[in-house]
A and B are shown apart, each in its own frame.
Chain A
Amino acid sequence: MKKAPVTVLRLPRGPDPNSRGFDPNSPRFIALCPTSIPSSAGEGACIEEEQRSRSELRERFLRTLIKMSNKPVNFDMYEGVQVRAKFGASDIDVLNFQVSELQTPIGVQKEALLRCHDMISFSFDV
């Protein structure tokens, strides 16, 4: 006699294509990360002030990225690599930068993705 298959309520949920997950509204996140900002100075010490500084620095960084749009930027990478390209945009997690006209020792790459982990610093003229 043919066996009947076990029924399931639904299939497991797959990844969200637009985010890396770790929903900050999940009960576990709320319970275990009341403030998701780790303090550099240990317990209790001026969390508010640190939070304010961090927000300011973050905002400054994001504004820098906006200002960089369509401008030529010099990138200092590991292994002494220095390249120049026109900055397009960053991805949401600042893992990759989309650039165009990337000047490399072997020619100009029309469109490219630079990995942020490979960068030490970058600079541009405001």
Chain B
Amino acid sequence: MAMRQTPLTCSGHTRPVVDLAFSGITPYGYFLISACKDGKPMLRQGDTGDWIGTFLGHKGAVWGATLNKEATKAATAAADFSAKVWDAVTGEEVLTLAHKHIVKTVDFTQDSNSLLTAGNDKLLRIYDLNKPEAEPQEISGHTSAIKKALWCNNDQQILSAADDKTIRLWDKTSSEAVKTLTFDQAVSSMEYIPDGEILVITYGKTVAFYNAHSLDLIKTVDAPTSIHSASLHPDKDYFVAGGDDFKLYKYDYTTKEEMESYKGHFGPVHCVRFSPDGELYASGSEDGTLRLWQTAVGKTYGLWKCVLPACTTEELASENSDAIYCPPEIKA
């Protein structure tokens, strides 16, 4: 018998959640950071959603947040014209990087030695975290505010999406734009999958998949609503998307068919990401909450519990039973 998805709601933020990111898998599990307009980004245990701590210090809405692979450092981008680097174990602020305008996006390199920032001043900046007082490398070219900037191709190149309706691929060494993609409307989100070199882009009601090297289009999928964010499963069998109609959609990546949709949020979904092990995905919404959703509904994982058939027979006998059943093996 199929089961109904029970999303786990993570409360604590008091304003819309606009960005979220997972760390890699560490010896202590994996972690999740959320950016919120209340100016207080939070760190949570990735598989349970348990709050670990709040990074205090920004004086404005936090638009972007990220963790390094090991979840030892965090970086945030805020409306107070600064990007901050934090110790993600102690919660202490390590660095404040002043900018000339609202900062929207931050991304660490794989070795955590450099930080990429970008925002409303239309510039990409690369900071050497070992020499933070040194002037950052600046890359210009975009003609409007940059919404998202990511390292790609072994941290040798940078992908940036801006309100000028372009996505540009830059070479880090030469600071030159190698390729440009132009769209009819602004890109709402971007995700880079290093394993497989796939770029996931959303604009309007479309989720598009590109090759991250060549920027060749792989496929597009149209959704029933304006999509704000999408994420591809690590095994590349599903992707999830969310947007204006408050729902989360799950699609088969190969066939492009919509498999499931889930209600739960009370506002538009701004960001969605798969966990590094693909077992769950997290969504952040205008309603101020994060929700965790199971990829394989009914499987025992994190706080979700699969009730075994042996227990169910007793429950079925009782008057108040919900008749919860879980088949022993659920294939994802």
Contact = CB atoms under 8 A, between A and B. Distances in A.
Contacts of A14: 10-12, 51
Interface in B1-54: 1-6, 8-12, 28, 42-44, 48-54
Contacts of A13: 48, 50-51
Interface stretch (B127-135, B171-179, B231-239, B300-308): B300-308
Interface string A2-35: 0111111111111110001111101111011100
Contacts, number: 106
B94 to A, nearest CB: 9
Given A3-B4, A7-B6, A36-B90, A12 B56 contact: no
7 smallest A-B Cβ distances: which pairs? A21-B53, A12-B49, A22-B91, A22-B53, A3-B4, A15-B12, A13-B50
B57 A95 contact: yes
Given A20-B91, A22-B91, A12 B48 contact: yes
A6 B51 contact: no
A20 B54 contact: yes
Contacts of A21: 43, 51-54, 91
Contacts of B44: 12
A95 B57 CA distance: 8
A112 to B, nearest CB: 16
B12 A7 contact: no
B324 interface: yes
Of residues A9, A21, A24, which shows the largest number of chain B Cβ atoms within 10 Å of its Cβ? Answer: A21
Nearest to A19: B53
Contacts of A10: 303
Contact of A6 (B56, B90, B298): B298
Contacts of A93: 56
B181 interface: no
B294 to A, nearest CB: 7
Contact of A20 (B53, B72, B303): B53
B89 interface: yes
A123 B8 CA distance: 49
